[in-house]
Amino acid sequence: MTYAIIEICGKQLKVEPGRFYELDRFDLEVNEELNVDKVLLVNHDGEIHVGQPYVNGASINGTILKHSRGKKVIVYKMQPKKKTRKKRGHRQELSRLMINSISLGGNVIAQKEAEATTEAVEA
């Protein structure tokens, strides 16, 4: 099993090829490719490459599948005995990112299967 830990959107995320992840909105169009060079760790068949802080020559290639909004979060603030109440809602803008491949040293070491793409688009 090949996976990588990347730094994206101010978060660290474990990614595998052929899987999709909901991240903060990117300024990219749907079906546009995204290349991430901030790879912290790569595990390929038990061989682990750890970066300090990033692995040299490692990159992750992905595709933006769609843009959406997250679930609504209600923020309610109240001060007792003051008759002060505030109710606010927030929905986070999200992008769905499909991981296509993991590359190390310019060579693709893991790639998604063709079946995984059609399942993600239908969901």
Spatial CA neighbour of 42 closest among 53, 51, 33, 34: 51
pTM of the predicted model over 0.85:
no
- Domains of the chain, by residue range, sit at 2-112
14, pLDDT greater than 60: yes
The confidence score (pLDDT) of residue 121 equals 56
123, pLDDT greater than 60: no
The whole-angstrom separation of Cα 29 and Cα 52 is 32
Mean of the pLDDT values across residues 45-67? 94
